[in-house]
Structures are given as C-alpha cells and as structure tokens.
Chain A
Amino acid sequence: MALLRITSPHTQRAGRKTSWVMLMVIAATVPGLVVQTALFGWGTLVNIMIAIVAALASEALILKLRQRSIAFFLKDYSAVLTAVLLGLALPPSVPWWLTVTAASFAIIFAKQVYGGLGNNPFNPAMVGYAIVLVSFPVPMTQWLGSADLVIAQATLPLTDSLAAILSSAPVIDSYTMATPLDAFKHKESLMSSEAFASIEGLSTANLSNWFYVNMAYLLGGLALLYLRIITWHTPVAFLGALAVMASLFYMVDSSNAATPYFHLTTGAAMFGAFFIATDPVSSCTSNKGKLFYGCGIGVLIYIIRTWGGYPDAIAFAVLLMNFAAPFIDYYSQPRAYGHTKAKKGLKIGDSK
C-alpha cells in the first residue's frame, strides 16, 4: 500500500501552498489599497513599498544568521504580507524611517526571534504597528484630510507624498487631520450631536471616506471567505461583539456614546476583522475558539476606544487576545468523533 508521505491535514486542495495563501491575502487587500490611495494620496503605496523592502531585508538577514535557506523562506511571501498589512495600517504621511523601524521590528522581534513563520505567538504586523504607535505618537496620529475638505490636495501628488515621507519635513502638515475615531475621542465635553456638527474630523465627508475604506476591506474579506482562506467565525464574532458593546452603551447614553455604525465603519474595524484577527498562526484554531477569540477582540476594542488612551485599538486588542489564544484553544478543543462529552463537576442527584 502506498503511504502518503505528506504532513497532515491531508484534505487540502492541491496547490494550496503557504505562498498561494499569502498571495491571495495580499490580493484581497487590493480593494482597500486602491480606496485608501484614491482618498488619502500615494503615501500608502509608498509606505507599502518601503515596508516590503525593509521586511525582506531583515528576514534575509536573520535567516542568514540562523543559517536557514533564505530563498525558500522569502518565497513564502509571509514577510511581504506582514509588510503590506503594516503599510496599510500606517498613516500615509509617516516618515520613511518609521516604516522601516516598524517593518524590521515586526520581522526580527515578533517573528524570527520566536523561530519564524508558524512559531510567532503574536501577529508580527500588529507588533510592528504597536511599537511605532507607542514610540512615535505624533506622526502616527496624523492622517490626511478628506477629499471634500481639501479638494486640491485630496489626492496628493506622488512627489509631495515622497517628499513628506523621505524628508520628514512638515510639508503637508496643513493637510493632516485626525481620523474620526481620534476626533470623537477628543470631543471633550461636547455632546455627540454637537461634535458631529462642529469638529472637522467628524464631518460627513471624512466619515464617508472612512466608510468607503471599510467597505473595500469588507469586500476583500468576503473574497477571502469565498476562497475559504479564512472562516467566518473570527470576523463575525469580532464585529458582532463590537456592535453589541457599542449598541449597549449607545442605548444607555446616546448623547455621549457613538453609534455602533460609527464604530464599525470609521476605524480599522473591517481591516482588523478580516485581515488581522484571522492570522492563522497567532489566532485560535478550533471554530469554537475562534468565536471566543473574536468576541474578546471586539469587546477589548470597544473598551480601549472608549476608556483607553488610544483612539483605535485593533493592534492592542489583537495582541492581548493573541496572549489568550493558547488558553482558549486549550479549553475549546473539539470533541473527537465517537466520544461523549466529558462529565464535569458534580452531578445533581448522584450524590450517593
């Protein structure tokens, strides 16, 4: 009898190699990338390029130090995917050294130090993002303004973007404004309705820009679902928990809290739900576990957004739940076929 000498799982379709999966995820980010570039200028694209170069260079360096095959591991595109996700998450006008720091830190400290792809307990892209967010809060909170407000500058010429990124000079300071989440967080004592009427970052134009970005990522995420690269559990639990939390607090205090719709469509909720939280390495594996994992992220995001120190919280929420993923996996192991459920605790009426 011929024994199949391949590792499990044996049910995967032919051609579904790591590199294919990674490439498909990269492809699924394209709608989001296009919308972000159209609305916020060329900066995102330039960031991604810088991040890819930095990530591949650090991956190659560490692989060489670890005496592993460089070409083999670079060709699985995992470093490229990390760089792409990072480039999309960073604001479009950050200076180049910030992107390089984030990408190389993500690869070296969050991935290779733990033993490379498959061994990293934390999502490398989010570790890189969190590091630069903690280290350089000022450039990390400056997003570009929306199209309607600064029509002339809306799609910033490529040269201006490059100048801003390469020289770190405040070329485009006047173009920057807060993201809606950031603006809402700093509305101080204003009521929600007043804030939406008066703050620039919460104008209809800016809100609709972020809505388009989120819808583009939703589209990409649905493509990933269709290709069965991810399952529905994590994103649905993630978005569901965030919506439930937001609705709950909106019902209690509608004059100060934001609507669930605002929470789902103005930050990085869709990007996080479909592209970050579903990282197969650092998230939970069983379906039940994924539900708990996604719920945890959604709840944490609401908590950090509302009472924490940062306007958006995808990175921190995902990293915190990455901590918890092995624990959740341990308690959500699916029952093997043919086995009955384990008896737990005291059985009532069976005391003697």
Chain B
Amino acid sequence: MSDNNLVDDTVETTKTGTDYAEIVYNGIWKNNPALVQLLGLCPLLAVTSTVVNAIGLGLATLVVLVGSNMAVSLIRNYVADAVRLPAFVMIIASFTTCIELLMQAYTYELYQILGIFIPLIVTNCAILGRADAFASRNPILPSALDGFMMGLGFMIILVVLGGMRELVGQGTLFSDMSLLFGDIASDWKWVVFSDYNDVLFAILPPGAFIGLGLLIALKNYWDQKEKARIEAKKEKTAPGSKRVRVTGNVA
C-alpha cells in the first residue's frame, strides 16, 4: 500500500481547466493501472481464471474506485496531511464493505468464488494510489471521471486476461456468466474448442503471470510502433545538401 509514492508523476494535478480527454487516455491506456502502474496485481493474478470472475472483480473495483475518489475529493480540503492516508483507507474500506454486502445479496455464488479477494479490494494499491495522487488534489468531477477511467482500464485488462486464461485453460469463453447476469446469461457459454484437454497451467496463477507479461509486452510493442510512426512523420528533412563545416575554424 505504500506504493502510492511511485504512482505517476505524470499525472497533471491541479491544472486550471481540466483536460478530460487526458484523464480518459491516462486511465485506459497511458497510465493503465494493470499494464503500466502494475498496481493491484494480487487480485489481477488471482481471480482472472475466467471471464465472469474477471468482470465481477473488475466491476467491484470500479465502483469502489469511483466512490472513493469522489469521497476523497469532497473531503480533500478538510483532512490534515498527516492523517490523510488513514482517512482514505477508511473511506475505501467502507465502500468495499458496501460492495461486499451487495455482492453477498445479489450474486452470492460469485461472491463465494471470489472469496477473500473482495475484502482485499481495500488493499488494492491502485485505489489508494488514485485517492492520494489525483482525488486529493482535484475537484469532484475530474476525480469521479479519473476513478471511472482507471477502474475501466483495470477492468478491461482483467477481462482480457480472464478471457485468455479461460480460452487456453478450458477451451471456452463466457462460461457461468449467469453467476453475474442472472438466468438470461445461462446459455452464453461459448465452447470454442470442443473435446479440449484442460490446460491446468493457464488456470493456475503462474498462467496469469505469463499472460500479463504477454499483454504488457504487446502494449509496449504498440507504443514503440506508434512512437516510431510519429518520429518518422516528424523527420521529413527537406531535400538538398546540408553540409556542416568540420574543418578549419569553427566559430
């Protein structure tokens, strides 16, 4: 949890005229909690064995993140610096408890599958990180948007990773979606490979490490390509000779 110091110095803090597009881009791509900040890895690696688990935990984290960011932003001028972290943790813990009770009430089976990882949302560094790095310095609207986008970025990666692991591990996609969406989702299960040998490795946590590593590599690869493309566009030197004098007296 003390990781909040390493959270982005790139975050624009109290700028006049908030750049909402920048917040969206930061949350989903440039500063993605899972791919760039590498925060909240514990639930990310532990519960992404299927898509439905990933969506469940992703949604829970998203709601907590939006709620805590808004609450922290509201009280940001009334909390002394020395006690701000305990205060933030209290807020996050309250939201987490709410989510836990809600899940217990409406998606009991999923609640049982996710188990300890729902209460552990409290310790998700991504949430405390956003509270300290963004919400405590910004008004409520940008904070809420930041929480939503960070949560969305986190959830997208959770779902992609869950999909990868479910596909490789069991050869299916979207199995047991009824745990989250009720009876209408009972036939959403898509058997991609029938007669498939389960690959236990992908279902176990080590598979998540490798899957996440591949996703990070893919993101870095895309970013490099994009960078190279921009560079190539920039460096269009005009034709003609440009000689630099290297002999004699160079002034």
Contacts and interface: CB of A to CB of B under 8 A. Distances in A.
Interface of A: 97, 109, 131, 134-137
B201 interface: yes
Q: What DSSP secondary structure best describes chain B's contact surface?
A: helix
Contact of A134 (B197, B204, B210): B204
A135 B197 CA distance: 9
A136 B204 contact: no
A135 B201 contact: yes
Contacts of A131: 201
A136 B200 contact: yes
B59 interface: no
Nearest to B213: A113
Contacts of B160: none
Contact of B200 (A97, A109, A135): A135
Contacts of B206: 134
Q: Considering the complex of A and B, which 3 residue pairs feature the smallest CB-CB distances, nearest first? A: A135-B201, A135-B199, A135-B200
Contact of A137 (B200, B202, B210): B200
Contacts of A134: 200-201, 204, 206
A25 to B, nearest CB: 28
Interface in B163-192: none
Nearest to B200: A135
Nearest to B202: A135
B210 A136 contact: no
Interface string B200-236: 1110101000100000000000000000000000000
Contacts of B200: 134-137
A97 B206 CA distance: 21
Contacts of A136: 197, 199-200
11 contacts: A97-B197, A109-B210, A131-B201, A134-B200, A135-B198, A135-B199, A135-B201, A135-B202, A136-B197, A136-B200, A137-B200
Nearest to A132: B201
Contacts of B197: 97, 136
- Chain B interface extent, by class: under 10
A170 B210 CA distance: 32
A97 B201 CA distance: 15
Nearest to A105: B201
A178 to B, nearest CB: 20
Nearest to B210: A109
Contacts of A137: 200
Nearest to A168: B197
A106 to B, nearest CB: 13
A284 B177 CA distance: 49
A51 to B, nearest CB: 18
A284 B133 CA distance: 45
Nearest to A97: B197
A160 B180 CA distance: 48
A24 B194 CA distance: 44
A309 to B, nearest CB: 13
Nearest to B169: A135
A199 B208 CA distance: 40
Nearest to B201: A135
Contacts of A97: 197
A134 B204 CA distance: 9
Contacts of A135: 198-202
Contacts of B201: 131, 134-135
A109 B210 CA distance: 9
Q: Select the residue from B198, B201, B202, B204 with max chain A CB neighbours within 10 A.
A: B201
A282 B74 CA distance: 55
A288 B204 CA distance: 37
Interface in B37-91: none
Contacts of B202: 135
Nearest to A130: B201
Nearest to B217: A113
A134 B169 CA distance: 12
A137 B206 CA distance: 16
Interface in B73-126: none
Contacts of A109: 210
Nearest to B203: A135
A288 B136 CA distance: 56
A131 B204 CA distance: 11
B148 to A, nearest CB: 35
A8 to B, nearest CB: 34
A228 to B, nearest CB: 37
Nearest to B197: A136
A80 to B, nearest CB: 25
Nearest to A135: B201
A100 B168 CA distance: 15
A66 to B, nearest CB: 12
Nearest to B199: A135
A234 to B, nearest CB: 27
Nearest to A134: B201
A109 B211 CA distance: 11
A137 B210 CA distance: 20
A136 B199 CA distance: 7
B12 to A, nearest CB: 36
A137 B201 CA distance: 11
A136 to B, nearest CB: 6
Interface centre among A109, A135, A136 (most CB of B within 10 A): A135
A15 B184 CA distance: 70
A97 B198 CA distance: 13
A269 B245 CA distance: 71
Nearest to B168: A135
